[in-house]
A and B are shown apart, each in its own frame.
Chain A
Amino acid sequence: MEEVPNLRKVLDRVENKLIASGKVYVAMSFVFWMIIMLLYFLIFPNVKLPLWTTAVYWAAGILIYLWFSSIIFRYYRRLRAPLNRKVFRRTGIFIGLSWAIGGFVGMGIIPDLSVGINSITMFSIGYLSFISISVFGEWLTFRGSDLEMIPAIVIPIVGIPLALYLSSSGTNPFFWAVLVVSLAFSSTILSYLYSAFKLIR
């Protein structure tokens, strides 16, 4: 019966490697969004471009991100989605829905609220809410199993009251919101990579 513990060890290693691969894939999708955000601030503040180019940049950025994420998602779903066939098929719909709700609340409703705060601050708060709600929805889709996502949910929420404070201090609140999201995503990426290496070492 010596084979049983050995086989169990092999199976543990196989399962851990599969989970670790899934975690690296998710980390890649967070990195990709950071590249889009940071590229904007590398180009736009330094080059005088008409305002409509900003809208085009973000629209294109979101589309490219969705395309890239859908590839990542297919890999991730294969490795981590619940093994119930119906749930497995619906995971993509739930993730898409969470980003759509996040986008609607964060980029649609919040920037249009008339609460006596300037538009760029409201837009920044909306952006932080968009990220937080969307990642929260994604986290729920995977039944809260990915604790690594928590910094990407919590840090933008914590950033909202600070964005309100910054509206009176002269700092560009949107630039600041991007830094908050970068910090949140970097923490999440670090957590994912740490978990992945912990599983395979």
Chain B
Amino acid sequence: MDHLKEVVKNRVLGNPVRLGIMLFLLPRGKVPFGDFIPVLNITPGNLDSHLRTLEREGYVTTKKMLLDRPRTVVKITDFGSVETRMYIRNLHKALDEV
């Protein structure tokens, strides 16, 4: 049941919205703020709040970038990618143990 303990311990990715954000970011590397909204079906305020949590915990960084217009771009960190992949692996193993 060690894997289950690891899954439960991770309060950052235990939230489905934050896990969704990380899974959307993982193959893409960086994503403009607005691109998350239709995919995750959440309000900008809610997204901003989850992104701030992820940024505080070191999973992502945010940066203003000039694309078609100035936009906030969210970038996954090495720490964030390792933690997300570990979380998925632990969840998978925990399910096997159930």
Contacts and interface: CB of A to CB of B under 8 A. Distances in A.
A72 to B, nearest CB: 11
Nearest to B96: A8
Interface residues of A: mostly helix, strand, loop or mixed?
A: helix
Interface in A90-138: none
Contacts of B27: 17-18, 21, 75, 79
Contacts of A51: none
A21 B76 CA distance: 16
A77 B23 CA distance: 15
B88 A75 contact: no
B40 interface: no
Interface residues of A, number: 20
Contacts of A7: 91, 95
A63 interface: no
Given A21-B27, A78-B29, A78-B78, A14 B88 contact: yes
15 contacts: A1-B98, A4-B95, A4-B98, A7-B95, A8-B92, A8-B96, A11-B91, A11-B92, A14-B23, A74-B29, A78-B76, A79-B81, A83-B82, A83-B85, A83-B89
B interface bracket (residues with beta carbon within 8 Å of A): 10 to 19
B59 to A, nearest CB: 12
A74 B30 CA distance: 12
B92 A15 contact: yes
Interface in A148-169: none
A37 to B, nearest CB: 27
Given A7-B95, A78-B76, A78-B81, A83 B26 contact: no
Contacts of B85: 18, 79, 83
Contacts of B81: 78-79
Nearest to A12: B92
A88 B82 contact: yes
